[in-house]
């Protein structure tokens, strides 16, 4: 089933044609700062199946890997929407906190666990990846 979501203010909407049986948690510094929390939750979705409508801005940053990451966020409320980077190929990371239905979709991978906050324990049954694969 496709997924539909929106930013906090509702002015930016996101539609994914792809379906996702699982999602990823990322503990890297950039994802923490973008989410304003201890981690972000994401899926990699084919770019051709992603529709983002509404007021957005982009911010480019050089990640610890040396790759340029383009962060997409609602220009009205600041909600993080997506991020793109060369290693993702024809996909883009979509931040799943903007979709109600992802609350019921399991997490199968944790990235950058070397940066996980000490008060957080590993997610049971999720792969534990030290940095970006």
Q: End-to-end CA distance of the chain, in Å?
A: 28
pLDDT band at 125 (very low <50, low <70, confident <90, very high): very high
Q: What pLDDT was estimated at residue 98? A: 97
Each residue's pLDDT tens digit, 50-105: 999 999 999 999 987 788 999 999 999 999 999 999 989 999 999 999 999 999 99
Strands 107-111 vs 23-26: parallel, antiparallel or unpaired: parallel
| pLDDT for position 4 | 96
Model pTM score: 0.91
Per-residue pLDDT, averaged over 112-130, amounts to: 94
| Domains of the chain and any CATH numbers | 3-106 (2.170.150.70)
116, burial (CB in 10 Å: exposed 0-12, middle 13-18, buried 19+):
buried
User: pLDDT-derived band of residue 1, with 50, 70 and 90 as boundaries?
Assistant: low
b/e 8-46 (16+ beta carbons within 10 angstroms → b): eeebbbbebebebeebbbbbbebbbebbeeebbbbbbbe
Alpha carbon 109 to its chain's center: 13
C-alpha 52/C-alpha 30 separation (Å) is 22
- Cα–Cα dist 83/95, whole Å: 8
Determine the pLDDT at residue 82.
97
């Amino acid at each position: 089933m496709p997924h539909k979501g929106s930013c906090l203010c509702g002015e930016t909407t996101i539609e994914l044609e792809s379906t996702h049986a699982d999602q990823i948690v990322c503990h890297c510094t950039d994802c923490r700062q973008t989410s304003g929390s201890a981690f972000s939750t994401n899926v990699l979705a084919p770019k051709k199946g992603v529709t983002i409508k509404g007021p957005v801005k982009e911010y480019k940053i050089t990640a610890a890997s040396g790759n340029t990451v383009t962060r997409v966020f609602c220009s009205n409320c600041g909600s993080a929407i997506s991020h793109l980077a060369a290693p993702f190929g024809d996909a883009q990371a979509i931040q799943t906190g903007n979709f109600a239905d992802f609350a019921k979709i399991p997490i199968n991978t944790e990235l950058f666990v070397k940066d996980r906050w000490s008060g957080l324990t590993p997610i049971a049954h999720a792969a534990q990846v030290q940095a970006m694969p």
